[in-house]
Chain A
Amino acid sequence: MSGQTRGGSRYARRAHRGRRTRRTALVPTAILLLGSLYALLPVAWVVAASTKNNTQLFNLFAFRPGNALLGNLSTLTSYRGGIFWTWMWNTALYAGGGAILSAALSALTGYTFAKYRFRGKTMLFNLILVGVLVPAVVLAVPQYLLVAKLGLADTYWSVLIPSIVSPYGIYLARIYAGACVPDEVIEAARMDGSGEWRTFLRIAVPMMGPGLVTIFLFQFVAIWNNFLLPWLMLGSDTKFPLTVGLYTLLTQGTSQPALYTVVITGALLSIVPLVVLFLLLQRFWRVDLSAGSVK
């Protein structure tokens, strides 16, 4: 049903853009499909693998499904009294909360960088860029020691707070604000007596909207997939996110059986919410940035 509406709007856009022949461009379409195939191949593998038991995993042809999906699911769900779902919930909390806060912070900061002049602007921005340059691997240890000193080790905050600041998000937001919030609009708002905060919220944020959704998504994925930070920060497995939880399932120590198939099924389940989120938020990417409020 949504496909139809989408098809309709695409048609409308095309009609608006120009009245050329509607013939399919074969070469680009073929390239696009090849690219899609390449991208989906390993995903197809993990979907097939999640339906296999240990024997089938090694012996059936890679893309041929087995018959153990339900068995794997029930093993996963019953493992330690359903702790997998606790991990799932934790991950949603870290990623959702962290990404919303991160998008908000990036929006405000990026907008300020793009639309205001103030002392130390260049220096501050460069400093934030340096944040991208320092490898997370070693920042993790001092971050951990600091968090421990504050008594926050092994708390939800220890994972959430470091996830909020995203130099990348700030960078993107600055570009979006520069590109799609025209100075004239801000000046007009000022003339109308709108306060700066209000101008930001009511005018700039909606104009940056699709870009902010992108930042939200990117940060959401980054937190969802983050391993090292939560792994070092958290000591009790009831607070683990999925990545750390699955890792403890995978590395059982030399003398213990590894739970490959369960981990693969868990990995698949951990991707599902991301895919759903992408599909749901898809329509925001379609919005032309200029369509928001300029006209």
Chain B
Amino acid sequence: MKLSRAVTTAACGLAALALAAGCSSSGGSAPASSGANQKVDLTFWSWVPNMDRIVAAWNQAHPDIQVTFTKAAGGDAELTKLLTSGKAKTMPDIAQVEYQSLPTMVSNNYLADISKYVDGVRSDYPDGLWNQVTLGTGAVYGVPQDAAPLAFFYRTDLFKKYNLTPPATWAQYQSEAGQLHRANPSVYLGDTATTDGGLFSGLTQQAGAKWWSAKGDSWTVGIDSPASRKVASYWGALVKQGAVDNKTAWTADWSKALDNGTYLSWIAAVWAPGTLASEAADTSGKWAMAALPQWNAGDQVTGSWGGSATSVTADSKHPQQAAQFITWLNHESQGTDLLVTDGSVYPASLAAESGSALAVPSFVSGQSDFYTQAKQYSKEAATATWGPDVNVAYSAFSDAFGAAATNKGDFLAALATVQQKVVADMRTNGFTVSGG
């Protein structure tokens, strides 16, 4: 499954040669501050597992650009740290940033525009993802690392046992969920997909919602929009009927339900097989992936849950070298292969998505076309639009929807609360928000 160490090393050696050649031609025009032979030290925060090995491979091949890697805490935690160190101008040179956090970072002016260093990579990424790192401007605030389109993951053994097929539409999901639980009160088709803001926003993207949009100098917040309301009331009804379970995602309780077969399916992004390894260790090989159920039969749309870019911070004194590393990591096949094999990342790079390193994950071992499908979903993912305070929205979301799910309460009221809190937060912070 994994490339042997020898092969990896050899590949990196080749990459070094290729890059060295590439550098001397393109870097010749800007010898300004750091001389050609001067050694550059870069610092790098990321939470990709085994990134230390990937960085070691780079360092070995690039004696002039040495990267010191620090394993950061994931997602929100790292964003908090970046925002704090940004105030003191002590950010690392390079950081992994989730797509939805990019506007927050950019709005604080903490990311460097690396458009002039990453000219050639644009065509390697789907439009939806590239749009995330440019925020629709001419600047480039990072290179996409992973894609995270939503899909429907189900237990093949249990689906056979209960005589189910992966639902093609949400209507079918609803009827299957209700029938299953009525006939077998100890199991559920799945959990409510409304306890994690990332997942819920992905589902609303599928329904066509745009949580943030900008026109002129003002923002519009569309969290409480008809599309989101459709998704919220759908899940609210399922929870109220008791057709899906209302446990909070990512708790030990919930893991146990995934592990012991209480849940027959899980709506998640293509990174799910890796996560299942820790959340439901007993179920290896029993899963398969299908397309996310659709609102209208025959559609082919999905949303995204998570995913991140690698960015150069505004504090970096060597943006060019940092961009070079990022390009290697997320675009060159040596880097993306290592990301896949060692980092268990589903790469954003289109070339890598058909690369040789992609082996079917053991949790979906029965599904030989896993990556072909994943690539398809990646293309079908609706473009996500993020605003400058997504983490506030997610936090308000888990408060409001957590309570609504636990008490089987009013999901539409919860949605309105989230909208109201986000608008209030943006106004407090001085943004111009049109409407309410």
A–B: direct contact at CB < 8 Å: yes
A-side residues, CB < 8 A to B, are 53-55, 57-59, 80-81, 141, 144-145, 148-149, 153-154, 231-232, 235-237, 247-248, 250-260
Are B260 and A248 in contact (CB-based, < 8 A)? no
Q: How far is the CB of B208 from chain A (nearest CB, A)?
A: 23
B-side residues, CB < 8 A to A, are 43, 45, 47-49, 52, 68, 70-75, 77, 81, 84-85, 87-90, 92, 98, 146, 148, 196, 198, 252, 255-256, 259-260, 269, 271, 274-275, 277-279, 281-282, 305-308, 344-345
Are A254 and B52 in contact (CB-based, < 8 A)? no
Q: How far is the CB of A140 from chain B (nearest CB, A)?
A: 8
Are A232 and B48 in contact (CB-based, < 8 A)? no
Bound-state CA distance A260–B280 (Å) is 12
Residues of B within 8 Å of A253, CB to CB, are 47, 74-75, 98, 306, 308
Residues of A within 8 Å of B98, CB to CB, are 253
Are B278 and A144 in contact (CB-based, < 8 A)? no
Which B residue's beta carbon lies closest to that of A259?
A: B278
Within 8 Å by CB of A254, from B252, B282, B305, B344, lies B305
Residues of A within 8 Å of B85, CB to CB, are 144, 148, 153, 235
Q: How far is the CB of B402 from chain A (nearest CB, A)?
A: 16
Are A235 and B256 in contact (CB-based, < 8 A)? no
Residues of B within 8 Å of A148, CB to CB, are 85, 88-90
Residues of B within 8 Å of A59, CB to CB, are 256, 259-260
Within 8 Å by CB of B282, from A55, A80, A247, lies A55
Residues of B within 8 Å of A53, CB to CB, are 281
Q: A53-B281, A260-B278 are in contact. Are A255 and B148 (CB under 8 A)?
A: yes
Q: A253-B47, A255-B148, A257-B279 are in contact. Are A80 and B71 (CB under 8 A)?
A: yes
Within 8 Å by CB of B90, from A80, A231, A235, lies A235
Given contact pairs A253-B98, A255-B146, A256-B274, enumerate 15 new A-B contacts (beta carbons under 8 Å): A54-B278, A58-B260, A81-B52, A144-B88, A145-B88, A148-B85, A153-B90, A231-B81, A237-B70, A251-B77, A253-B74, A254-B271, A255-B345, A256-B271, A257-B279
Residues of A within 8 Å of B305, CB to CB, are 254
Are B84 and A232 in contact (CB-based, < 8 A)? yes
> Considering residues A149, A232, A237, A256, which has the most beta carbons from chain B within 10 angstroms of its beta carbon?
A256
Are A248 and B344 in contact (CB-based, < 8 A)? no
Between-chain CB contacts (< 8 Å), 30 pairs: A55-B282, A58-B256, A59-B256, A59-B259, A80-B52, A81-B52, A141-B87, A144-B88, A145-B88, A148-B85, A148-B88, A148-B89, A153-B90, A235-B45, A235-B70, A235-B92, A236-B70, A251-B47, A251-B74, A251-B77, A252-B49, A252-B74, A253-B47, A253-B75, A254-B275, A254-B306, A255-B275, A256-B74, A257-B278, A257-B279
Q: How far is the CB of A238 from chain B (nearest CB, A)?
A: 8
Q: How far is the CB of A11 from chain B (nearest CB, A)?
A: 48
Bound-state CA distance A148–B345 (Å) is 34
Q: How far is the CB of A68 from chain B (nearest CB, A)?
A: 11
Bound-state CA distance A288–B306 (Å) is 60
Which B residue's beta carbon lies closest to that of A149?
A: B88
Q: How far is the CB of B315 from chain A (nearest CB, A)?
A: 11
Bound-state CA distance A38–B88 (Å) is 45
Which A residue's beta carbon lies closest to that of B148?
A: A255
Which B residue's beta carbon lies closest to that of A239?
A: B70
Which B residue's beta carbon lies closest to that of A81?
A: B52
Bound-state CA distance A130–B278 (Å) is 45
Bound-state CA distance A259–B278 (Å) is 7
Q: How far is the CB of A58 from chain B (nearest CB, A)?
A: 4
Which B residue's beta carbon lies closest to that of A248?
A: B73
Within 8 Å by CB of B306, from A250, A251, A255, lies A255
Are B75 and A251 in contact (CB-based, < 8 A)? yes
Residues of A within 8 Å of B274, CB to CB, are 255-257
Bound-state CA distance A57–B253 (Å) is 11
Residues of B within 8 Å of A154, CB to CB, are 90
Bound-state CA distance A53–B278 (Å) is 10
Residues of A within 8 Å of B198, CB to CB, are 254
Are A58 and B87 in contact (CB-based, < 8 A)? no
Are B77 and A254 in contact (CB-based, < 8 A)? no
Q: How far is the CB of B274 from chain A (nearest CB, A)?
A: 6
Residues of B within 8 Å of A250, CB to CB, are 73
Which A residue's beta carbon lies closest to that of B199?
A: A254
Are B259 and A55 in contact (CB-based, < 8 A)? yes
Within 8 Å by CB of B275, from A57, A237, A257, lies A257
Are A55 and B77 in contact (CB-based, < 8 A)? no
Are A145 and B74 in contact (CB-based, < 8 A)? no
Bound-state CA distance A56–B84 (Å) is 39
Are A251 and B271 in contact (CB-based, < 8 A)? no
Are B48 and A256 in contact (CB-based, < 8 A)? yes
Bound-state CA distance A251–B308 (Å) is 15
Bound-state CA distance A250–B275 (Å) is 13
Q: How far is the CB of A86 from chain B (nearest CB, A)?
A: 12
Residues of B within 8 Å of A256, CB to CB, are 47-49, 74, 271, 274-275, 344
Q: How far is the CB of B197 from chain A (nearest CB, A)?
A: 10
Residues of B within 8 Å of A141, CB to CB, are 84, 87
Residues of B within 8 Å of A255, CB to CB, are 146, 148, 269, 271, 274-275, 306-307, 345
Are A232 and B81 in contact (CB-based, < 8 A)? yes
Q: A232-B81, A257-B274, A257-B278 are in contact. Are A252 and B88 (CB under 8 A)?
A: no
Which A residue's beta carbon lies closest to that of B47?
A: A253
Bound-state CA distance A154–B81 (Å) is 12
Which B residue's beta carbon lies closest to that of A154?
A: B90
Bound-state CA distance A59–B198 (Å) is 29
> Considering residues B74, B255, B277, B279, which has the most beta carbons from chain A within 10 angstroms of its beta carbon?
B74
Residues of B within 8 Å of A247, CB to CB, are 73, 77
Which A residue's beta carbon lies closest to that of B343?
A: A256
Residues of A within 8 Å of B48, CB to CB, are 256
Which A residue's beta carbon lies closest to that of B271?
A: A255
